[in-house]
Structure 1
Amino acid sequence: MGGPGTESAIIDRIYEAAFLPDEWPKALGAISALSGSAAGTIFLFGDDMPVRGRSEEIVRPLFDEFVASDAWKVSDSVQRTYTLRPSEFIVVDDLMSAEEIERDPVRRKLRAFGIGRHICAVVPMPTGELVTFVFQRWLKDGACDPASLALLNSFRPHLARAGLIAARLGLERAHEAVAALEAIGLPAAIMTGAGRVLAANRFLEAMSDIFLSASHGGLAIAHAPANALLQEAITGNRADAVVRSFPVPASQGQRAMVVHVLPLRRTARDLFSGAELLVAATVPSPGAFVPSAGILMGLFDLTPAEARLATNLNAGQSLGVAAAASGITVKSARTYLERIFRKTGTHQQSELVALLKTVHPFPAH
């Protein structure tokens, strides 16, 4: 598995924190140590709820003051990030003038503490919440180097999936398997590493036309291409490169959805009696809505370039026009499109566009 600072061990910690929010400081701390950051924080923003989150202990007093006050509402840094919603980790300071940073009340307090630049990524949840990950640099360490930024972005798909569960649980601790599955509010099942279903909640059981019982207590999906991706994710549980988020397109009255396969790591397994996998489905509402690149990245593990191309194609552009709008060559666009097909379980452009038009924020159960 490797030591506590290795990338695979950090990924384990991220998935553990999805169900055990008290573990977020350790997961964020491991990422900070590897990326040369001062501290990391996860925030959950929603229109009708107070700001919630978890932070590393070193900045806990500043974090507590931040979430307890309305200072973030007048912070240029926070509002700029909230408006732009960067789908990959970026240096927020690069988007602001020196004057804006100087007058920002939140940044003034952080500078007094010795913290300078902010690196941030926003993961829009299909439910409407914004899960925001922030890593900060010590003033003495100066700018964030490209390698550290790339490292943070390598964790982004795992943070996005863990953030989905954290948002649905409201960053509260899940105590017991059935209660946890119900609290998630999504169709879900827990499984052994061999793919045997240990428990499923009522939301998933009500979708018996989509989720099928398989031999030896397994789980299958009626749509064959999606089922192939599910079985690959189950058998490749320990392979960090395996595709863990994929669509099930609408057909014959079935609703379109996106299935996520999350590994249960470390003490998170204790919540589910030693299970190794959680399968959860997000159920979009059909419509002509064009999803943002950020939502596509969060749902399907697309890179920023792939998500931009998919968004442009979904807006009705031809491959050539979409390539130009994305700032890439047609040859590169074809390469990206093949990767998009693989990650979304589609095989042609028309099928991809039809799928993406179903991806819309969905209501909570």
Structure 2
Amino acid sequence: MLDLYAGAAQPARWVQSMDRLCSLTGAQSAVVQAFRFEGGQAQVLWSAQDSRTRAVTSVQSPELNTGDNPRLEQRRVLRGLDRVASDELLFDPDDEARPRLQQRLAMLGLGRFIGTLQDVGRGVYLGLALHRPVHDSSDFSVEHINRLADLAPHIGQAFLLTDQLQATMERDERLRGLMDSLCFGIVLCGEDGRVQWVNRQATALLAPGAALCLQGEHLYGRSAQDTLALLAALSAARRAGPQRVGYLRLGEGAQALHLAIRPGDDPGALMLVLSSAAVALELPAGALENLFGLTPTEARLLGAIATGSTVEEYAQLRGVSVGTARVQLKQIQAKTGQHRQSDLVRLVLSSAAAHLSVPRPS
């Protein structure tokens, strides 16, 4: 039973559980499958097999693991819902699909069958199938049938745990990818500076020699004094609670790092937002076109102004006259309703264009 529930976090334990079930029942094969119906046919969403079945079926008859199995047709399989069923229950006496299936299974060394089926919610069913060796014509015993009936609810619960954990892991992976697309660094750490997670931008900002760096699992300033200042800021932010945000600058000049520190809901975690003036802000021209209704030329000029260029510098870089660039600027001001360059900068830096990094060509 321990292997069964441990399978949620360790998929290999499902194989061990199925191997043990084969040993306890004299089965040659044990397979559990989650599926839903589409057009009366089962679409397999997830499965686990004993080690022998995993090796043999995937090579010799993979379609049996993907729903191409007459037992899994809706009109047959639902006859076994919430009970231990055999082929005698699932197939009509004159159903020609049964001998054809048995012939295919015999080629894999599989004989007599019993199984269970349960509805695990959201239109998903979970089936468990046991097969004896093809040369063993004896039925499964009453003890084996009762064991399977007792085990079925636990298999259902173990699958739901597996499904929930897998969904959580997939969601977390998607969130990590999204966090990596931010223009600023994100760090989750404890009050002692021990890092729990960083996004890609934070990894770059915390490089060796930076005003703040990651050594092993902990954050350190460039000097002992900076490290103490960081730890004091983390402690103060923890005491202040989630309604307050702390701020800290480490380093000087262009190499300075700016930190915003906010406690999380978990008492053991704080979120650090890191930025550096030394990292050039990338403003995709396409984003500015879409957000502010600009032409490509206007978007390039606005991006240059928002990242610190003057109209004169932009004109020289693009090889146009200053007068032409000023005409373009007036068009931008008319479209955005912002008539001072400082207001244009504020508008751009508060927009969505300033917060997502541009994917690099691979």
Q: Same fold (TM over 0.5)?
A: no
Q: When the two structures are superposed, what TM-score results if normalisation uses the length of structure 1?
A: 0.39
**Bigger-Rg structure (1/2):** 2
Q: Which has the higher contact order (CA 8 A, sep 6+)?
A: 1
Q: When the two structures are superposed, what TM-score results if normalisation uses the length of structure 2?
A: 0.40
